[in-house]
Amino acid sequence: MLNFTSVALGRSEVDFLAVPVCEDAEIHADKELAALVAEARGLEEFKAEAKQQLMLYNLLDGRVLRCLFLGLGPRKKINAETLRAFAGRAVKVAMTAKREAMTIAAPLAQALDLPPERLLQAVAEGACLGNHTFTRYKEKPKHAPLQSISMLVPATMAKQFAVLPGRVEAICRAVCQAREWVSTPGNDKLPEQLGRAFSTAASRAGLQVRTLDQTQLKRHKFGAMLAVAAGSAHPPCLVEISYTPAKAADAQTIVLVGKGVTFDTGGIDIKPATGMEAMKGDMAGAAAVVGAMLAVAKLKPKQRVIGITPIVENMPSGTATRPGDIVTSYAGKTVEIGNTDAEGRLILIDAMAYAIKKHKPDVLVDLATLTGACVVGLGEKIAGVFSRDDALRQAIAAAGEAVHERCWPMPLPDDYKELLKSDIADISNMSSSRYGGAITAALFLSEFTNETRWAHIDIAGPAHAKKASDYCGPGGTGFGVRLLCELLTRRQP
């Protein structure tokens, strides 16, 4: 549980206190905090360099039992992400020390030239996100999450931003739930299992849920999605989650679509064995969308928000779709299957066409671990964002920058559409060139968006982390949840 506190350190006992220290500036106005920092600076080995840490015990006449000092580095390099990282590291130290609670001293916003709300939000996010470990399959987990995290702030700020802890906690819980879904192995999140998990979580959050099973998908002619699922013994489903604001009459409709391939072998065009185990995370787009919807239930934005997740397993078998097959999509266009491993775009086009026909959204955004080409181009920490709508693309990039879920604008050149031509169908799902795969995948999606304002976010890189970072463990990162929440918060009807 996250909360603000304004206790006087000189008169209250604190079990575990974390204090950020700037290398070349004072960033705390509180007299007791300043005294603690002065004591740490008095030790020759502590310079407050970036990520340097020092633990001291029984300070302020024993009222602070444990005090962790964490260096932030020079003031000119400190930003919101520096503070997220600080808080995440502090929580991990407390978890390692097997504490149940801790207090984090927030630095003075004016000293760092950051807006107070942005500073407090960054510290709170880092703390909440760092307080998560995926232990479902561990008989004896090494560390347990803290039961309580308090942020030490001036009383005036605690009153001014009283709603912030609850808001941040709601978003971060949704991020951590998305991480859990992504990290869960494929044998425990078959399409019917994941669909049920999504539906249950959304229903408990008070959201409206509708699930289309395989029979309904056939009736509504989700031909491209069914083609991907054809090789699996486990039937596909589509989960539709809706949030309607109190004043719905004039509200914009925002649709979020997330790719939900619970395990991707590549189908008949099977992937190499090396690294295939990571394909349990090919539903990270769906996890991000449902996570965002769980947060939306708490945040209650002014827009009508609908999350749609097509869920399938892509397997090779005697019933699997073959390379060269032609399928008819929900939109009515025929698609030649140039490669069965280009499956994500097939389930997305049916879900997007369904969303456009049924909901007529003002804005449609899809998230997908779509292409390795995007990872080659942007690395493992930055997503690619594609849209012909400059304002929408810029809004997504700005939202990503604000929460450090970075999205780099990518091109959609019309002449590249030539690479998707088919001699016998309306379009091919595979480019005729080995280059520019992230671009041609986005162009393929764009053929099914009509005139709708649409953006595609390729999260193949940042959806999964091989190693732990300051506020995220190895495995699913939950990338996209905070990005979508920030985007929805910024957009006005």
Reply yes or no on whether 98 is catalytic. Answer: no
Beta bridge partners of 456: 366, 386
> Can you say whether the dihedral through the CA atoms of 317, 320, 323, 325 is positive or negative?
positive
Count of CB atoms within 10 A of residue 141's CB? 12
- Ordered DSSP codes for 295-361: HHHHH--SSEEEEEEEEEEE--STTSPPTT-EEE-TTS-EEE-S-TT--HHHHHHHHHHHHHHHH--
DSSP code of residue 389: -
Residue pointed to by tokens 């603690």: 36
Cβ-based neighbours of 455, under 8 Å, separated by 6 or more: 363, 364, 365, 366, 385, 386, 387, 389, 392, 393, 396
Nearest-10 crossing angle of helices 191-204, 164-183: 170
Instruction: List the catalytic residue out of 271, 333, 453, 491.
Output: 271
Nearest-10 crossing angle of helices 390-403, 481-490: 120
Say if residues 387 and 412 touch (Cβ distance below 8 Å): yes
Alpha carbon distance 62, 194 (integer Å): 50
Alpha carbon distance 446, 440 (integer Å): 10
Beta bridge partners of 334: 328
Reply yes or no on whether 271 is catalytic. Answer: yes
Alpha carbon distance 108, 17 (integer Å): 16
Torsion of CA 482, 484, 489, 493, to 10 degrees: 180
Please, is 296 exposed, middle or buried when counting C-beta atoms within 10 Å of its C-beta (0-12, 13-18, 19+)? buried
Alpha carbon distance 390, 393 (integer Å): 5
220's tokens: 């509504």
- Pairing relationship of beta strands 363-368 and 253-258 according to DSSP bridges: parallel
Instruction: List the catalytic residue out of 84, 189, 345, 482.
Output: 345
250's tokens: 């004039």
Say if residues 46 and 20 touch (Cβ distance below 8 Å): no
423's tokens: 């001699």
Q: Quick one: the chain helix, strand, coil %, rounded to 5? A: 40, 20, 40
Give catalytic residue positions: 271, 345
